[in-house]
Amino acid sequence: MQQIGRQARAASRIIATANRGQKDRALEAIAQQLESNVAALVSANAKDLAAGKEKGLEAALLDRLALTESGVAAMAEGCRQVASLADPVGEISDMSYRPSGIQLGKMRVPLGVIGIVYESRPNVTVDAAILCLKSGNATILRGGSEAIHSNQAIASCIAAGLSDVGLPEHVVQVIDTTDRQAVGELITMPEYVDVIVPRGGKGLIERISRDASVPVIKHLDGICHVYIDKEAEFDKAMAIAINSKTHRYGVCNAMETLLVHESRAQEILPPLCEQYREHGVELRGCEKTAAITDVVPATEDDWSTEYLAPILSIRVVDDFNHALDHIAQYSSGHTESIVSENYTTNRAFIQRVDSSSVMVNASTRFADGFEYGLGAEIGISTDKLHARGPVGLEGLTSQKYVVYGNGHIRK
Amino acid sequence: MQQIGRQARAASRIIATANRGQKDRALEAIAQQLESNVAALVSANAKDLAAGKEKGLEAALLDRLALTESGVAAMAEGCRQVASLADPVGEISDMSYRPSGIQLGKMRVPLGVIGIVYESRPNVTVDAAILCLKSGNATILRGGSEAIHSNQAIASCIAAGLSDVGLPEHVVQVIDTTDRQAVGELITMPEYVDVIVPRGGKGLIERISRDASVPVIKHLDGICHVYIDKEAEFDKAMAIAINSKTHRYGVCNAMETLLVHESRAQEILPPLCEQYREHGVELRGCEKTAAITDVVPATEDDWSTEYLAPILSIRVVDDFNHALDHIAQYSSGHTESIVSENYTTNRAFIQRVDSSSVMVNASTRFADGFEYGLGAEIGISTDKLHARGPVGLEGLTSQKYVVYGNGHIRK
């Protein structure tokens, strides 16, 4: 691992100053390598799938592990999309003269070496590598052992693409070991790794955050709320509550708890719950909800559970402050949305809810790198430091101060 | 500590949404409390000084511990200066419509609760507390045990000032214990503390970074370089090399190593070293330097030492790349400056040097929150994540996404 770290550090110096043209040509070369090696990729993946079946992996895991021809085409397409994004590196902002006469600005620069630790999806290998590449960073990737053949086949394509345009292959290194110790070393080498981005389940992320001595950009729970206010417009409330829950279930920006102002519960809950039932959503509710419509009684645990499934907890709240209190107590700080026509209530919601995305009259499903125009995302940070919310290319960079003088000295 | 943490978290919710007027009135009230309690502050400090002398503290430490009437006046003036700074909280930037129709922006918000761990200077108690207050954060301060009476007297003034304007006293809490365990608890309560800012010597900062489970904004070494290029203008090189070293010695943005292009060493080093000697600076040099002027031979250790003293190491480098290599190997990533008239060389220096401040034809002494227009600084971060370089109010905030819709849902 020390050797891999040293190689990454050396490669990071080169990729940090590569110009946009060269990085974009590398992305195109990687796309072409993936396309021309589609058969090899699918057959490497078949080995992983066979081994997975033998080991008795769950169907859902096998599904995530699978790489088809169209999956490879999507990875190549991803490379070309990232190539089309603006290069954040070198962007200078806030340039101005100070009273001393120096001219001061901030220049965006790569972070250096980014370690990615992830689970079974092999497409993460490409997704993460190309975002880091475009933002001028070297990457060390450590995927799940169950995807080892797929990841190595993908790594070969990336290495070949880098080499095609004269960039060092060590810009992207896929750790080819399946031993668990490698992760432990990767996340404790601050001299070689500048940040760790874990991608996977909560267990993985908590373990890495606990053990890492390198900073971690975390993507923890999405316990997202929609609050239907006293002054909500009925149609907007219905549309947003349905869309936030049922558009997709297994995603972090899906609503897990619906809060409804007591004065509107009788009117809104019966038709809304009817629609949820049509979508096959299991409903769990507080006592007041249960008095209005047929729900399973919600327990205390329900308020702090990320279902990632067609299950919804519903709570009738006394007023706006009760909704804020519930959110402050149970939200994971990912995304919350209010449905209201009241100017002052909406401003207070925006100001007082401390989540990475705070919305008015919009579905929580919009909290997403593509929807936010980042082009692509490496994750959605639930941290407050450095990067918060969807993390795109900019989140993989830092800024340094640049000073232009003409012989200026401090008096 | 758990109790203090809970109180800080509760107070952080209130100060986060306090408006600028209230925060500025609190700062003025704290200034007035300090001014009207100057006698009590100086006499509390006298107790610390007496205890320190008894314990045999070094003169330099006693000097840092001392709080005079003019020191109190300076603290009060600091409060008024911070009140005059713009409030970063609530600033919305990059507001634009996305193709989906949602309107997206980023709103600046406080981090929450900031833990400050520092050593003997009692003025840090006020400086740190007021920057955190203005940026909408609650603070838990843990100063050195040798300043305990001074810090508690200052804490009383801050509490009285907060109370004068109706803000909770728990917005700023000074830990009144001298036991070491308190620090250990403070830096491992992520549920109550969002970030730790250690201020003090390298030992303190390394210890805290190692043991903290809360993110740390670090201010480590300043091993700063000036590189005099082949195409440097003589007068600018002399002025910048002298100012960077001799303007102040005990500061992190002072130059510690001077690099001189071989082709200019014979011309520049003799008169420059003559001036250094007049300033009483001890010179240590590489072999090539020693062949030109009278210096102590530099050892390998010299290149990686932050002297914080009138000592300078000098190295004659073969060319620009040799200078870059030296900086990449030995710099602490704080501040480096090049003296050159060459357009391409200067652009390459700005691009390729990976430090929090990179300068052209300017003294390293400009790397400072006041000089950069931040108004005040809580430290100079040598980290790359979150905040880099001088950290002012903005570095004590985060950003959240805000989304305005009109019933928008994902298709």
CB-based contact A355:A326 (threshold 8 Å): no
What's the distance, Cα to Cα, between the start and end of chain A in Å?
49
**pLDDT value at position A375?**
84
To which residue do tokens 């760790």 refer? A196
C-alpha B132/C-alpha B126 separation (Å) is 10
Strands A357-362 and A296-297, by their bridges, are unpaired
Predicted TM-score (pTM) of the model is 0.92
Task: Report the C-alpha gap between A362 and A339 in whole angstroms.
Answer: 8
Q: List pLDDT tens digits, range B399-408.
A: 999 999 999 9
Coil, helix or strand for A216? Answer: strand
Residue A236 is nearest to which of B350, B356, B407, comparing CB atoms? B407
d(CA A120, CA A145): 8
pLDDT band for B324, please (50, 70, 90 cuts): very high
Per-residue pLDDT tens digits for B333-342: 999 999 999 9
A194 and B90 in contact by Cβ < 8 A?
no
| B364-391 pLDDT per residue, tens | 999 999 999 998 889 899 889 999 999 9
Contact between residue B169 and residue B63 where contact means Cβ atoms under 8 Å apart:
no
CA-closest candidate to residue B138, choices B104, B167, B160: B167
Please state the ipTM of this predicted complex. 0.93
Contact A359 B402 (CB under 8 A): yes
pLDDT bracket for residue B85 (50, 70, 90): very high
B399 contacts in chain A (CB < 8 Å): 388
Range scoring the smallest mean pLDDT among A201-205, A357-361, B278-282: A201-205
Report in angstroms the alpha-carbon separations of A341 from A363, B405, B407. Answer: 15, 11, 10
Residue in B72, B65, B64, B78 with CA at minimum distance from that of residue B38? B72
- Note the pLDDT of residue B396: 96
Percent helix, strand and coil across chain A, each to the nearest 5: 45, 20, 30
pLDDT, position A181: 84
Q: With beta carbons less than 8 A apart as the criterion, state whether A115 and A196 touch.
A: yes
Q: Give pLDDT tens digits for B195-248.
A: 999 988 888 888 998 899 899 998 878 999 999 999 999 999 999 999 999 999
What's the angle, vertex CA B41, arms to CA B37 and CA B45, rounded to 5? 170
Strand, coil or helix: B90: coil
* Cross-chain residue pair B404–A354, CB shorter than 8 Å: no
Structure-derived torsion over alpha carbons of residues B380, B130, A93, A105, reported in degrees to the nearest 10: -50
What length is written for chain B? 411
Q: How far is CA A221 from CA A200, A284, A334, B168, in A?
A: 11, 20, 7, 32
Angstroms from B371 CA to nearest CA on chain A = 7
Rounded CA-CA distance A253/A247 in Å is 10
What digits encode the pLDDT tens for the residues A214-251? 999 988 789 999 999 999 999 999 999 999 999 999 89
The string of pLDDT tens digits covering residues A129-148 is: 999 999 999 999 999 889 99
Q: Do B98 and A406 touch (CB under 8 A)?
A: no
Q: List the single residue in B112, B389, B400 with the smallest CB-CB distance to A356.
A: B400
Chain A: residue nearest B386 by CA?
Answer: A386
Chain A: give the shortest CA distance to residue B408, in Å.
5
| Cβ contact B363–A111 (<8 Å) | no
Token look-up 């838990």 returns B140
The CA–CA distances, whole Å, from B99 to A87, B103, B253 equal 21, 9, 47
- A210 interaction partners in chain B (CB closer than 8 Å): 213
**SS3 assignment for B303-369:** HHCCCCCCEEEEEEECCHHHHHHHHHHHCCCCEEEEECCCHHHHHHHHHHCCCCEEEEEECHHHCCC
Could A400 and B235 be called an inter-chain contact, meaning their C-beta atoms sit closer than 8 Å? no
pLDDT in tens, A90-124: 999 999 999 999 999 999 999 999 999 988 788 88
| Residue of chain A whose Cα is closest to the Cα of B337 | A403
Residues 6+ apart with CB under 8 A from B333: B354, B355, B356, B382
Cα–Cα dist B25/B30, whole Å: 9
Contacts of B125 (CB under 8 A, 6+ apart): B118, B141, B143, B150, B151, B154, B155, B158, B174
Cα distance between residue A28 and residue A136, in whole Å: 16
Alpha helices in A37-172 (DSSP H): 38-55, 59-65, 69-84, 123-134, 148-164
CA dist A362 and A35 (Å) reads 39
Residue A150 is predicted with a pLDDT of 95
Judged on CB neighbours under 10 Å (0-12, 13-18, 19+), B54 is: exposed
Q: Name the phi and psi angles at B336, rounded to 5.
A: -135, 150
Of B111, B243, B328, the CB nearest to A410: B243
Task: Give yes or no for residue A253 having a pLDDT over 70.
Answer: yes
Tokens, residue B276: 């250094």
- The distance of B383 to chain A (nearest Cα, Å) reads 9
The residue-averaged pLDDT of A198-202 equals 86
Q: What is the pLDDT of residue B176?
A: 72
The predicted pLDDT at position B312 comes to 98
Q: What is the dihedral of CA A325, A330, A336, A340, to 10 degrees?
A: -30
State how far the Cα of A386 lies from the Cα of A119, in Å rounded to an integer.
24
Instruction: Output the average pLDDT for chain A.
Output: 95
Portion of chain B with pLDDT greater than 90, in percent: 86
> Would you say B248 and B222 are in contact if contact means Cβ atoms under 8 Å apart?
no
| pLDDT (0 to 100) of residue A220 | 79
Predicted local confidence at residue A121, as pLDDT: 84
Whether residue B359 contacts residue B336, with contact meaning beta carbons closer than 8 Å, is answered with yes
pLDDT tens track for A271-292:
999 999 999 999 999 999 999 9
**Are the Cβ atoms of A358 and B402 closer than 8 angstroms?**
yes
**Residue B214 in contact with residue B196, Cβ under 8 Å?**
yes
Interface test with B, best of A343, A400, A402, A404 (most B CBs within 10 A): A400
Q: Is the dihedral of CA A212, A216, A222, A228 positive or negative?
A: positive
Q: What was the pLDDT predicted at B177?
A: 65
Which chain A residues contact residue B102 at CB under 8 A?
Answer: 362, 366, 371
Give chain B's mean pLDDT.
95
Give the bridge partners for A285, in sequence order: A297, A314
Tell me: pLDDT of A125 over 70: yes
Q: What's the mean pLDDT in B105-124?
A: 92
Proportion of chain B in helix, strand, coil states, percent, rounded to 5: 45, 20, 30
At a CB cut-off of 8 Å and minimum separation 6, what does A46 contact?
none
Chain A interface, mutation test: which of B403, B404, B411, most A Cβ atoms within 10 Å?
B403
With beta carbons under 8 A apart, name residues in chain A contacting B408: 240, 361-363, 366
Whether B255 contacts B244, CB under 8 Å: yes
Which residues in chain A have their CB less than 8 angstroms from residue B388's CB?
A: 398-401
Q: What pLDDT score does A52 carry?
A: 94
Per the CB < 8 Å rule, is A354 touching B112?
yes
Quote the minimal CA–CA distance from B362 to chain A in Å.
Answer: 5
> Do the beta carbons of residue B386 and residue A385 sit within 8 Å?
yes
Question: Cα–Cα distance between B385 and B80 in angstroms, integer?
Answer: 30
Tokens of B303: 């290149």
B144-151: average pLDDT:
92
Select from B195, B239, B386 the Cβ nearest to the Cβ of A409: B239
| Cβ–Cβ below 8 Å for B243 and A328 | no
Nearest alpha-carbon partner for B210 in A198, A212, A187, A209: A212
Contact A101, B361 (CB under 8 A): no
| Helix (H), strand (E) at residue A336 | strand A335-339
Helix (H, G, I), strand (E, B) or coil at A3: helix
Tell me if B245 sits within 8 A of B282, measured CB to CB.
no
Say which of B17, B383, B409 has its CB closest to residue A243.
B409
Q: What is the percent of chain A where pLDDT is above 90?
A: 86
Question: Is B80's pLDDT higher than 70?
Answer: yes
Residue from the list B362, B383, B405 with its beta carbon closest to the beta carbon of A360: B405
In DSSP terms, which residues pair with A108 in a beta bridge? A399
The nearest CA of chain B is from the CA of A40 a distance in Å of 36
Per-residue pLDDT at A60: 83
Residues B82 and B27: beta-carbon distance below 8 Å: yes
Q: CB pairs below 8 Å between A and B: how many?
A: 206
What pLDDT does A178 receive? 65
